[in-house]
Structure 1
Amino acid sequence: MDLTPFPFLSLPWQLRRQIYFFAHLVRECPVAITAPANVIVRHDAPRRTEKEGWGWCCQYQQRKQLGRHNIAYETRECRCPEIPKQLLLLSKALHAEVEALLYGENKFIIRAHRAEDLDLFEKLSVRALSQLRYLLVRLNSWPCYRGHSRASFKHGVCLECRAPVSASDAELGADNAESEAIIEQWSRACSRLSSHVIPGRLSVEFICDVMDKATAERVLGPLGTLPRLNECTIRLGRNQDAALRSLARSAAIRLTEDLCPPSSAAVSSFFPFQSLPPELRLRVLGFTNLGPNGSFRPEWSDIAVKNGRFEQAICSSLAVERECCLSCSFTRLDCCCPLRSASYSLACRCRDLPLELLLVNRQTRTDAAMVLYSTNTFTFTGPFLDSLRMLQSLRPDTLRRFRRICFQLETRQTVRWKDLADTWGLLVAFIGKFFDISRLSLIIKADSNDYEECTDPTYNEPMLRNLYTGYRTLVLGVKAQLPNLLDFHLMLGAFYSLEPVWEKHVMGSGYDSTNGNQFSKEAHSTDRWPNLPKDLTEAPHWHQEL
């Protein structure tokens, strides 16, 4: 047997590269090159087993594939194999190749809890700094020192790893010795980075929550010395702050613009958008976040009106609590969503409505309002009286621009319909009077928990009768007050077989909502859930034809 070592470096580069990948030298999830603070974490829930799937996988992979956070109760953010650092020690030739691939292909995270944590910039070689492509620097981590953004402040713990909120880092501010030390060390780190980073190669995400604008300007000063970056995301505050957000935006744009400044002629000239034909202007505005074709996630296409107030966030029809879109940062962990913090991120996929367009001039205001109200679905939740007051506050010409509205009903509304019937009648009458009914599509969604609530052991048949009466009265009100609707889609929480029956009662015997006149219903509830029990899907024995 020949025991002569195989000359690895004589292999073709593409083959060696694949071997490095199989050896986990390059991995998809980010690599943390600073250890988190030494904090004891209490586990209040058992860990998942490998049979349960996601419990033992990399949390980054889970967030990327599922598109949402998961309460994992894990102290380790990543369970991927460790980087084989031993490859750097084999030979000089191999060291150079491995170092270039390691720092050029991976994404790195630096969480500095103290000024000393930034010393590692001095320890990285010149070759490593020049090869860097993705780098996140976070000078303070809150509410979780590991970077998680979801916490229960009532119980004082992170919702994902159960780390105590008290162990997280404080905001940087003036007249603070620790803040001064961090800013000073950050300045030295940026000086070393700027000397060796290749212009246009590095993408930087910088997070530093500050107390005031003056401190923000001080931490952005060193960052501004870096050469032109490929991408730049900056967060300066834990809550929305117009001044800090403007600072973050200006700094990020300045760091990513071309090395050659634009000429004075280019600066003084603007595209004559106002001179475009009206249909083209509306088409262009429809691809901003004003319309349903923006860059946000498709499931957030509805604009929610909760308790009579617009929810200008990543809202679905239920106007849920604002959560990170998981796209604003390459770590899919350190939230930089401008709707949640004082930040700037081009990669964010939250729906941030550009309402500033309504303030440009009269023509742009008219065009933007037309796109906003005529191309979106507005989903109303909460008391009918709040929704009515909100609509009454709008101008008559604005009301006539609405094309698609949805009412998301709660169980407490449908089972107690007798108390709300008058308010619903006023709301529907207002819509019939001021909306352009012939161009309006109406969607009514009942709570999917209606049946379960009404069949609870504490209830009996009278409660189901109340539910049925609520549905029936609701449909009769629509029929009486809103003739000639363009489309009508009904989604009940029980008695699913009545959906097409009552839709035809409102629209006519030949109407089929799954085809629709302009907007089609995805499917009737009986088709979406064909295996449900008959007492849930069929009409009750006391049903009467309308």
Structure 2
Amino acid sequence: MRQRRICEYLGLTCTHLLSFLCLPPAVRHRIYCEAGLVSDADVDLNRRPDAADSWPSSDDFQLSYNLLLTCRTIYAEVSSIIYSTNRFFIRYRDSRSLQPLRNLRAPSLASLTHLTVHLNVTSCERVQPCCKVYPEKPHLGCRQHDKPLTTSSRRHQAIFLEWHSAASYITAHVRSSRLQLHFVCDVQDLEAATRAVEPLLSTPTLLADCGIRLGQQPDPALQDLARQTATRAVGGYRLDQPGSPFRFLDFPQELRCQVLEYTDLVTPLCEVEWNPEKGFYVRYSTWNCGDIWECPPALHYACQFRNCWQYSNVGCFCRRYHSAYSSKCNCWSPPTSLFLVCRALREEAQAIFFKKNRFVITPSKGCNRVADGTPPRLEVSIFLTKIVPPDALRFLRFLEVVFPPFDEDYLRPHEPAYRDWLETIDQVRDKLHLPTLTLRVYMADHSPSGQDVTPFRINMTKEQGMTIIAMYARTLGPLSKLNGMKRFFVHLAWPFAWTRSGRRGRKENPEFVKQQIATMEQRVEGLVMGNSYDSMLLEKNKQGNSQWLEASLASIRYGGEQTTF
């Protein structure tokens, strides 16, 4: 009977059976895979092989299941292949149990190479990035999120106990430096996080790799615990035996600065955006490298430093979004810790951070969304007076300020924001190192895709357009107080771009429109720098687009109408 089963599922006659078992193991392994043995797949331990929504499908699993029933020799070989070549996943929420982990036999665990355990998850994971990229547009799955675990809840204590039991069983049987373990347990506080990682701190077997997430939102204490635990689990430093401190400040200053340039003080694209809602962050104009949004070769290097969750099938362990650690996450996050070590390192870190990056100050509601009205304070005023330390203003080398499109007038002389803007200029002009500063200002246009144009823009009169041009001069004219500034570039939106005559003019005589914009920009730049100033001699058009503008232009190329900024 056993021989007949082998023959049937491997397509051999009974006379060939003994010759098959006598084949070298490597050859037999290849035959199994060619016959359809499941490999390189995500296997959910809480799903039945015949479940409609399971992966692999029931048809894919049938051959593997049949091979396991043939004989002891083939069972051992097939089982080893299955557990070593597939990625296994279990989510506690699915069956309120981790029993499938404890059901695995010791030889199977010894072959296991990839295991992901989602003990408690408070956000969308695996194939749903909405909680990270589109927090304002949750989908139906967002209603099924878990609540953070605490040590004060009896039900949560039971979850911790079951995890400890399962983890102890797994780590007792896996081979050293073979298993890649990813563990998600979103908790309420540090006490619960410590409880969650206890089995990994005492594991007798080293892991090949370990990713840990302990909270949906970034928390320095939880991130540090996740990093230390994962590092120790793979054989890194021990928490209870810290080594002697590394005396970084004993290095010469020149060497220290070179080392700091290889930290997160310098972003992958040497560009940082800031606004009051998001703080410091990095924007990438291409989101799907290799897809319809093709990544320019010059920027492809930076792809490894962004959105690591897009390339993961084990969940999100991105430190930018969560209290997590993963050796695969190189995403940029503000290097706050480097500013908190000591006063000497703080000054050197600030010098590198503000000298080596281009800083783009964007409107809180978006660069191309029409402003609801003048805010109490301009974003750039907040940045220069509240965010950048006064003694670090001298380090700024490239500052770009983006003003949002607006209807009617904006930043009127009687408004508090305008008066504050004038005070900001007076306050920082003696602190900035103006000879080395490049200041670039964008008056952004409305809706680069041409959709949802406001009635004001479509029906704009000549008088209303001149009011907008007057706002340009009124807002930027006071920058003339920055005596000694050498490089000042202005990019203005043409007020009549979306009127009926403006649309027609852009199609029939685009060169005339470009000339009108160039004339406006030249007059405003002359108002600030003097009539003899010529920004074209300073290669104004060769400064490169910032990422917010690249993103806007990309949306135009892939389905919108061309506009000018």
User: Structure 2 length as normaliser, TM-score?
Assistant: 0.69
Q: May I ask how many residue pairs the two structures share in their alignment?
A: 475
Do the aligned partners of 1:24 and 1:82 also contact (CA within 8 Å) in 2? no
Q: How does 1:49-64 map to 2 (within 5 A)?
A: none
Q: Which moved more, 1:414-423 or 1:168-177?
A: 414-423
1:446 alignment counterpart: 443
Deviation at 1:285, TM superposition (A): 0.4
Asked if 1:273 is matched to 2:251, the reply is no
* Matched position secondary structure for 1:113: helix
| Alignment-mate amino acid for residue 385 of structure 2 | Q
Q: How does 1:386-405 map to 2 (within 5 A)?
A: 386-393=379-386, 394-405=388-399
2:262 alignment counterpart: 287
Alpha-carbon separation, structure 2, partners of 1:527 and 1:237: 36
Q: Which of 108, 117, 120 does residue 137 from structure 1 map onto?
A: 117
Deviation at 1:118, TM superposition (A): 0.7
Alpha-carbon separation, structure 2, partners of 1:365 and 1:139: 39
Do the aligned partners of 1:149 and 1:334 also contact (CA within 8 Å) in 2? no
Alpha-carbon separation, structure 1, partners of 2:249 and 2:562: 59
Do the aligned partners of 1:148 and 1:333 also contact (CA within 8 Å) in 2? no
The 1:429/1:199 distance shift into structure 2, 3 A limit, reads: same
The 1:429/1:211 distance shift into structure 2, 3 A limit, reads: closer
Q: Which moved more, 1:227-236 or 1:380-389?
A: 380-389
Alpha-carbon separation, structure 1, partners of 2:558 and 2:95: 61
2:431 alignment counterpart: 434
By percentage of residues, which structure has more helix? 2
2:33 alignment counterpart: 20
Alpha-carbon separation, structure 2, partners of 1:492 and 1:103: 60
Do the aligned partners of 2:116 and 2:314 also contact (CA within 8 Å) in 1? no
Deviation at 1:131, TM superposition (A): 1.8
Q: How does 1:35-54 map to 2 (within 5 A)?
A: 35=47
Do the aligned partners of 2:309 and 2:317 also contact (CA within 8 Å) in 1? yes
The 1:470/1:24 distance shift into structure 2, 3 A limit, reads: farther
Q: Which moved more, 1:219-228 or 1:240-249?
A: 240-249
| Alignment-mate amino acid for residue 285 of structure 1 | L
Asked if 1:381 is matched to 2:362, the reply is yes
The 1:143/1:491 distance shift into structure 2, 3 A limit, reads: same
| Alignment-mate amino acid for residue 440 of structure 1 | L
| Alignment-mate amino acid for residue 254 of structure 2 | E
Q: Which runs of 5+ in 2 are unaligned?
A: 1-10, 286-304, 364-374, 498-512, 527-532
Alpha-carbon separation, structure 1, partners of 2:313 and 2:111: 23
Alpha-carbon separation, structure 1, partners of 2:435 and 2:515: 27
Q: Which of 252, 261, 279 does residue 311 from structure 1 map onto?
A: 279
Deviation at 1:370, TM superposition (A): 0.5
The 1:333/1:93 distance shift into structure 2, 3 A limit, reads: closer
What is the identity percentage for the equivalent residue pairs of Structure 1 and Structure 2?
22
Do the aligned partners of 1:148 and 1:158 also contact (CA within 8 Å) in 2? no
The 1:437/1:145 distance shift into structure 2, 3 A limit, reads: closer
Alpha-carbon separation, structure 1, partners of 2:561 and 2:212: 55
Q: Which of 509, 512, 522 does residue 539 from structure 2 map onto?
A: 512
Alpha-carbon separation, structure 2, partners of 1:150 and 1:3: 50
Alpha-carbon separation, structure 2, partners of 1:346 and 1:535: 42
Larger radius of gyration: 2
Do the aligned partners of 1:303 and 1:310 also contact (CA within 8 Å) in 2? no
| Alignment-mate amino acid for residue 540 of structure 2 | S
1:186 alignment counterpart: 163
Do the aligned partners of 2:201 and 2:229 also contact (CA within 8 Å) in 1? yes
Give CA deviations for 1:245-293 in whole Å, capped at 9, x if unaligned.
343333222212259x7998x923x554323332321121011111124
Asked if 1:244 is matched to 2:213, the reply is no
1:119 alignment counterpart: 99
The 1:374/1:3 distance shift into structure 2, 3 A limit, reads: closer
User: Structure 1 length as normaliser, TM-score?
Assistant: 0.71
Deviation at 1:400, TM superposition (A): 0.7
Alpha-carbon separation, structure 2, partners of 1:472 and 1:392: 23
